[in-house]
Amino acid sequence: MEKYVDILFMFVKAFAVGGAICTVAQVVINKTKLTAGRILVIFMLAGVALEAFGLYDYIVQFAGAGATVPISGFGYLLARGGIRGAEKGLFYALTGPLAAASAGVTAAVAFSFLFALIFRPKSKKN
């Protein structure tokens, strides 16, 4: 029974942290005139900065997927790949982020292509 309580608590932590990140993003959208692209870049750079200072890893250890799925988690992933690559040299510092993010980017492209074949997009009528 204790195993199931641990799993439930893991889900609650992931939902709470992921929800908090999304809530902050929604407040920024509602209260500022920033474009969606700028907000995405800000959140990605926040993930990079938090990982550069060694803070985002603590959030990931606590919340798991709740911290790695949002766009700030992508920034964390890129920074972590760069930091680990830099330990091997300059070339690896440049290629480390690409290697770290390659599986996620490949999945996004492959699934986007697959769904583009299945569904027919229609433009919105104003």
Residue-level pLDDT at 4: 92
* Longest alpha-carbon distance in the chain: 54
Residues 15 and 21: their CA atoms lie apart, in Å, by 10
Residue-level pLDDT at 126: 58
Tell me which range, 8-12, 66-70, 89-93, is most confidently predicted by mean pLDDT. 8-12
Residues 45 and 50: their CA atoms lie apart, in Å, by 8
Alpha helices in 32-89 (DSSP H): 36-52, 56-63, 65-68, 71-86
State the average pLDDT for the chain.
Answer: 89
**pLDDT tier at 104, thresholds 50, 70, 90:** confident
Rounded to a whole number of angstroms, the distance between the first and last alpha carbons of the chain is 54
Query: pTM of the predicted model, to two decimals?
Result: 0.75
**pLDDT tier at 68, thresholds 50, 70, 90:** confident
Structure tokens at 37: 């692209």
Residues 6+ apart with CB under 8 A from 70: 18, 21, 22, 25, 43
